[in-house]
């Protein structure tokens, strides 16, 4: 017999520091219950409390003595008041809201405080509740303060926002039982008979307890829901055993939940028991001796039959695997099948078609007991209607606004990348995850506007969640063949056929013109060792999936034995290496290296993967490979072409040789499933020369050098020396790697061991006497050559504007002296340059007049404010994005940062010392810098641009100089940047130096200009995140990866004495 309790509950809304606000609930009249159940939704918090109380009192319900249950039955009518008090204690005082529940009991008026220790007191007639509460609470808290001076926290007694009283209904199942007489027999385990109800609550999950808010809705499934209800709400001559069969995410679980919901809403829902979901693995979990799980399972089935519960299963094949051991083939499925023949229980199960087929192969007699209902995938119109309804429910629950325009995008993404699952489930799942992600970004206050979460945000979220580059799914971003070839050519040297093949594969996948039922691409790389086949795979993984770590490598020379196929797809009880990794990381590149050495059974598996884009493992689960890129490498045919490689006129002949070799080795059905056969030729000397710099940079970026804060610079002679020592046509790039390790890394490590310093070090590598020579020097901070003001007075600002006017007058005078002669073909280059400078001068003149008017208006406001405020000065409150580090803050800054291992937070705290410039000051200085820039450009008559080459020791940060610096072209080429323009010498010089970046660790990057003398290696810039500090000027600002123009102009176009 079930015992129903209605328990009074106190609930409020509370926010812990640094966390999201949550509802917290606890029993009202149970001071011994000190744990709060919390959730962002109150109904879920109440459900958690009900489950916790049910679990806590379940054993008390079945015990002979029910005195422990008596306090839980106390539920008098109560009202609540939230009273604000100030409490004065001996050592502290505090003010807050205290919630009091008042009720009638024992012939008097009682009050209880739910928070804190559950303090209760009697309200004396004729007194105010507020006065009585303050008296009792002060006395009690002073006593607690005296007893627990160290741990006493009065804030635990304060109520949160929205405090109120509610009730939670608890049903305690089970029957009262007398304790069994102790047995005198020797037993290895506990011989007490298991309580089926207790074990069911321990192992299973009651779906009825999820009503109403945590049950899924099955929309547009009236026929299937009606058929299910007819089986489990009407009396039948036989015990129902119903099976829902459909693809993953087709809506099987939602149908079960909808059946539970509607059955509970009907009056006749009590004719049958509860729905209990049971997992086979949880049944056998914790069972330690022979026969224990059989006893538990039998007791659970007996309890379910007696109480007329419905057993819900979602892993029918797992029933016949759980319980098996090396000495016994008995399983949960066999026990259940035997009981169903004589003492059946109602079963509602779900299964995919693949799992249903496995069950029929395992035990056809048990499978034939089920009445099968097929759950079909919904069409696009029905799916869209369900997504609209789901979006409305999500907005109601999470207070989040999602634009309806994202629903077609969700359907498109899931149609393209979620082929292994069915609609509508996969669309609803993505929508729910999307809403949850954005709700976490905007926790409580305020709601997102309709346009806030649009297609762009959805694409960004999908790309970051699944590990695919945004350009592969966002059609608004351009992707050109030339851009792809440039990316791959910077990583791959001399392999034009491979670059073309990878470019075509990426373009087809981006345009979605590849076969949707096959992998994104399948390529066979053929060529000798060390020519870049693996490097091509890494480059392709980085471009498509955003990281080289998305490449899953399988060396097939390790899979040449008879068990190779089982290792890849698994065996009963063991997951496969291939299928499990792809299931965990479906968006990835699969590299099968040395494919010719694999066992023939492996080729049969790859045949299915290449042809159908899917593979079934030993557990019967199908793995989707349609979101993978597959690359196979081999050196078959390399011996025949070795002596003919390297000549362009032999390219077609070499390709045919490789193709013939592949056709002879692979079976026709395997060969025809490959998209492209890509030949690789031996690396030539010029390829090795280009590759030497790339491999050296990678070797010098290793963790040991980064931890020691060592920056290594290689000159051209050193790189050529490594290329010469590493050139070997037979071994390709591997010989170059050995040469770099032997002649660069090993001597450098030995040299650093003799350098006793903890400071950052710069190592210059040169070639001397046929060996690399290392010169070490400690990094120093560049001297501050310019001190910029934070705020200028009104008179000083007008002086700067007058100085700018004078500079423009001088610019115009110089331009008037130019002799302009048009050519016969039209406007001469000199006249075009003249017009360009005139336009800039006129624009600056107009901005200066606007600045003067703004300064005059500000001065009038200052005088008016001073007159109304007496002697209190007027201070401009508008701040600019340009900041200035104080002189005391910039002095020895780098010494402090490099001399100790400072955390990123400590570095940020030092950069926070920068003070923002006043808006008027920054505006005047920027105009003055631009005028000085024009003076430099008009000093020499002539429009011929110059070219300056900036070289970086790492990833190059592009200067943001397009608007005002008269830069005609920016041509990035790896670590080189060619600037073409007019009068760029000082700007190029301002860009050079060493940049120190503080993120997870210190990274030093050198910038130099080939046309200018090399610098001293002094650190000139400090970067952390988006903030960049110029140590020479003290300017600090937030920026992207580019060098701000203001920093370069401040250094290049201003004399220190001007300020």
Encode pLDDT of 252-277 as tens digits: 999 999 999 998 887 554 456 899 99
Looking at residue 544, its pLDDT comes to 96
**pLDDT exceeds cutoff 80 at 444:** no
**pLDDT exceeds cutoff 90 at 993:** no
**pLDDT exceeds cutoff 80 at 249:** yes
Q: Say if 302 falls within a structural domain.
A: yes
Task: Tell me which of 778, 808, 832 is where a domain ends.
Answer: 778
**pLDDT exceeds cutoff 60 at 835:** yes
**pLDDT exceeds cutoff 50 at 446:** no
Specify whether 860 is located in the same domain as 888.
yes
Q: Tell me the per-residue pLDDT of 342-378, one tens digit each, with 9 for 90 and over.
A: 999 999 999 999 999 989 999 999 999 999 999 999 9
CA separation (Å) from 649 to 147, 654, 778? Answer: 95, 10, 53
Q: Phi and psi at residue 714, in whole multiples of 5°?
A: -105, 130
CATH number of residue 538's parent domain: 3.40.50.300
Specify whether 545 is located in the same domain as 659.
yes
**pLDDT exceeds cutoff 80 at 980:** no
Looking at residue 941, its pLDDT comes to 59
Looking at residue 963, its pLDDT comes to 45
Specify whether 801 is located in the same domain as 770.
no
Domain count, the chain: 6
Which two structure tokens, joined as six digits, stand for 707? 């931890």
Task: Tell me which of 635, 653, 682 is where a domain ends.
Answer: 682
Specify whether 338 is located in the same domain as 251.
yes
**pLDDT exceeds cutoff 60 at 648:** no
Output DSSP code: residue 741.
Answer: I
Output DSSP code: residue 872.
Answer: P
Q: Which residues, at least 6 apart from 476, have a Cβ–Cβ distance to it below 8 Å?
A: 456
pTM score of the predicted model:
0.73
Helix (H, G, I), strand (E, B) or coil at 611: helix
Specify whether 448 is located in the same domain as 495.
no
Specify whether 385 is located in the same domain as 530.
no
Q: Say if 786 falls within a structural domain.
A: no
Q: Tell me the per-residue pLDDT of 501-549, one tens digit each, with 9 for 90 and over.
A: 999 999 999 999 999 899 999 999 999 999 999 999 999 999 999 999 9
Specify whether 505 is located in the same domain as 555.
yes
Alpha-carbon span 51 to 46, nearest angstrom: 9
Q: Say if 26 falls within a structural domain.
A: yes
**pLDDT exceeds cutoff 80 at 744:** yes
pLDDT tier at 35, thresholds 50, 70, 90:
confident
Looking at residue 445, its pLDDT comes to 46
Specify whether 678 is located in the same domain as 690.
no
Specify whether 201 is located in the same domain as 168.
no
Specify whether 649 is located in the same domain as 725.
no
Residue 564 Cα to chain centre, angstroms: 35
Residue numbers of the domain that contains 1035: 794-1058
CATH number of residue 389's parent domain: 1.10.8
**pLDDT exceeds cutoff 60 at 178:** no
Q: Say if 189 falls within a structural domain.
A: no
Looking at residue 966, its pLDDT comes to 57
- Listed in sequence order, the DSSP H helices in 529-574 are 533-545, 564-569
Q: Which of 880, 1042, 911, 894 is nearest to 965 (CA)?
A: 1042
Q: Say if 723 falls within a structural domain.
A: yes
pLDDT tier at 198, thresholds 50, 70, 90:
confident
Specify whether 666 is located in the same domain as 568.
yes
Alpha-carbon span 377 to 245, nearest angstrom: 11
The three-state (H, E, C) secondary structure of 875-897, written as one string: CCCCEEEEEECCHHHHCCHHHHH
Looking at residue 909, its pLDDT comes to 83
Across the range 646-671, mean pLDDT stands at 79
**pLDDT exceeds cutoff 60 at 1049:** yes
**pLDDT exceeds cutoff 90 at 220:** yes
Q: Say if 587 falls within a structural domain.
A: yes
Specify whether 619 is located in the same domain as 697.
no
Looking at residue 1014, its pLDDT comes to 66
Task: Tell me which of 342, 374, 406 is where a domain ends.
Answer: 374
Q: Say if 182 falls within a structural domain.
A: no
In the numeric block, the tokens 């201070």 are attached to 875
pLDDT tier at 574, thresholds 50, 70, 90:
confident
**pLDDT exceeds cutoff 50 at 451:** no
Looking at residue 450, its pLDDT comes to 44
Q: Which residues, at least 6 apart from 210, have a Cβ–Cβ distance to it below 8 Å?
A: 47, 257, 260
Q: Tell me the per-residue pLDDT of 853-892, one tens digit each, with 9 for 90 and over.
A: 988 888 888 887 777 655 455 555 678 888 998 887 787 7
More confident residue, 639 or 363: 363
Q: Say if 437 falls within a structural domain.
A: yes
């Amino acid at each position: 017999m079930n015992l129903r309790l209605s328990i009074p509950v106190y609930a409020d809304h509370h926010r812990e520091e640094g966390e999201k606000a949550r509802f917290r609930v606890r029993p009202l009249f149970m001071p011994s219950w000190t744990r709060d159940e919390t959730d962002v939704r109150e109904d879920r918090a109440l459900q958690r409390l009900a489950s916790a109380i049910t679990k806590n009192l379940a054993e008390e319900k079945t015990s002979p003595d029910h005195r422990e249950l008596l306090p839980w039955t106390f539920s008098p009518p109560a009202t609540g008041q939230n009273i604000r008090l100030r409490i004065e204690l001996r050592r502290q005082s505090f003010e807050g809201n205290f919630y009091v529940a008042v009720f009638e009991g024992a012939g008097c008026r009682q009050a209880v405080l739910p928070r804190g220790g559950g303090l209760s007191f009697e309200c004396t007639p004729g007194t105010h509740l507020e006065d009585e509460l303050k008296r009792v609470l002060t006395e009690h808290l002073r006593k607690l303060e005296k007893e627990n001076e160290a741990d006493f926290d009065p804030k635990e007694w304060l109520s949160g926002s929205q405090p109120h009283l509610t009730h939670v209904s608890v049903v305690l199942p089970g029957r009262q039982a007398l304790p069994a007489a102790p047995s005198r027999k020797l037993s290895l385990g506990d011989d007490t008979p298991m309580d089926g109800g207790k074990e069911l609550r321990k192992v299973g999950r009651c779906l009825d307890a999820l009503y109403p808010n945590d049950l899924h809705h099955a929309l547009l499934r009236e026929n299937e829901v009606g058929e299910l209800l007819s089986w489990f709400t009407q009396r039948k001559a036989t015990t129902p055993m119903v099976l829902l069969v459909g693809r993953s995410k087709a809506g099987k679980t939602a149908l079960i939940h909808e059946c539970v919901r509607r059955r509970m809403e009907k009056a006749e829902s009590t004719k049958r028991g509860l729905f209990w979901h049971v997992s086979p693995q949880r049944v056998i979990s914790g069972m330690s001796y022979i026969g224990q799980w059989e006893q538990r399972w039998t007791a659970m089935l007996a309890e379910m039959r007696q109480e007329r519960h419905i057993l819900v299963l979602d892993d029918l094949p797992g029933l016949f695997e759980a319980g098996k051991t090396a000495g016994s083939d008995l399983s949960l499925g066999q026990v259940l099948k035997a009981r169903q023949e004589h003492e059946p229980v109602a079963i509602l199960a779900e299964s995919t078609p693949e799992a249903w087929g496995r069950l029929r192969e395992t035990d056809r007699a048990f499978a034939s007991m089920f009445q099968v209902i097929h759950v079909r995938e919904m069409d696009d119109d029905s799916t869209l209607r369900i997504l609209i309804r789901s979006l409305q429910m999500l907005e109601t629950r999470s207070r989040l606004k999602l634009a309806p325009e994202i629903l077609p995008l969700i359907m498109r993404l899931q149609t393209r990348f979620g082929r292994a699952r069915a609609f509508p489930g996969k669309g609803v799942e993505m929508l729910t995850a999307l809403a949850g992600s954005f709700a976490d970004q905007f926790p409580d206050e305020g709601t997102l506007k309709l346009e806030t979460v649009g297609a762009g945000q959805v694409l960004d979220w999908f790309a970051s969640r699944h590990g695919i580059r945004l350009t592969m799914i966002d059609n608004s971003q351009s992707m050109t063949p030339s851009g792809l070839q440039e990316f791959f050519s910077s990583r791959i040297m001399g392999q034009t056929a491979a670059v073309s093949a990878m470019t075509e594969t990426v373009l087809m996948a981006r345009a979605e013109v590849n076969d949707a039922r096959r992998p994104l691409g399948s390529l066979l790389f053929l060529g000798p060792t060390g020519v870049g086949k693996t490097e091509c795979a890494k480059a392709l993984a980085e471009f498509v999936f955003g990281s080289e770590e998305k490449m899953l490598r399988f060396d097939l020379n390790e899979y040449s034995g008879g068990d190779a196929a089982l290792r890849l797809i698994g065996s009963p009880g063991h997951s496969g290496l291939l299928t499990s990794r792809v299931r965990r990381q479906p968006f990835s590149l699969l590299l099968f290296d040395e494919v010719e050495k694999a066992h023939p059974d492996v080729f049969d598996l790859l045949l299915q993967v290449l042809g159908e884009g899917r593979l079934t493992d030993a557990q019967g689960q199908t793995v989707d490979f349609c979101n993978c890129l597959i690359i196979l490498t081999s050196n078959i045919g390399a011996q025949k072409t070795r002596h003919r490689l390297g000549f362009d006129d032999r390219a077609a002949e070499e390709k045919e040789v490789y193709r013939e070799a592949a056709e002879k080795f692979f079976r026709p059905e395997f060969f025809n499933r490959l998209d492209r056969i890509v030949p690789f030729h031996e690396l030539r000397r010029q390829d090795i020369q280009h590759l030497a710099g790339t491999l050296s940079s990678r070797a010098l970026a290793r963790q040991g050098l980064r931890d020691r804060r060592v920056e290594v610079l290689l000159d051209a002679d050193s790189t050529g020396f490594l290329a010469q020592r590493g050139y070997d046509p037979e071994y390709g790039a591997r010989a170059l790697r050995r040469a770099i390790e032997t002649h660069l890394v090993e001597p450098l490590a030995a040299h650093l061991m003799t350098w006793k310093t903890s400071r950052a070090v710069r190592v210059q590598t040169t070639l001397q006497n046929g060996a690399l020579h290392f010169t070490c020097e400690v990094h120093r901070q560049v001297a501050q050559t310019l001190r910029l003001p934070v705020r200028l007075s009104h008179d000083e600002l007008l002086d700067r504007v007058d100085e700018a006017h004078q500079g423009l007058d001088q610019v115009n005078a110089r331009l008037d002296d130019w002799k302009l002669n048009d050519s016969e073909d039209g406007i001469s280059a000199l006249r075009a340059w003249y017009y360009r400078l005139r336009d800039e001068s006129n624009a600056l003149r107009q901005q200066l007049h606007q600045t003067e008017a703004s300064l005059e208006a500000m001065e009038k406001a200052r005088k008016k404010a001073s007159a109304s405020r007496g002697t209190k000065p007027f201070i401009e409150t508008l701040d600019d994005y340009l900041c200035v580090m104080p002189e005391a803050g910039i002095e020895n800054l780098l010494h402090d940062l490099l001399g100790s291992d400072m955390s990123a937070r400590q570095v940020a705290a030092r950069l926070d010392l920068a003070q923002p410039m006043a808006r008027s000051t920054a505006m005047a200085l920027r105009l003055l810098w631009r005028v000085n820039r024009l003076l430099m450009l008009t000093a020499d008559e002539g429009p011929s641009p110059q070219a300056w080459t900036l070289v970086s020791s790492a990833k190059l940060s592009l200067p943001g100089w397009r608007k005002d610096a008269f830069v005609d072209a920016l041509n990035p080429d790896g670590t080189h940047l060619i600037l073409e323009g007019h009068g760029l010498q000082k700007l190029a010089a301002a860009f050079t130096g060493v940049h120190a970046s503080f993120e997870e660790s210190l990274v030093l990057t050198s910038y130099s200009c080939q046309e200018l003398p090399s610098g001293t290696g002094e650190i000139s810039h400090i970067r952390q995140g988006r903030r960049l500090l110029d140590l020479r000027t003290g300017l600090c600002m937030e920026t992207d990866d580019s060098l701000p123009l203001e920093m370069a102009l401040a250094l290049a176009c201003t004399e220190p004495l001007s300020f």
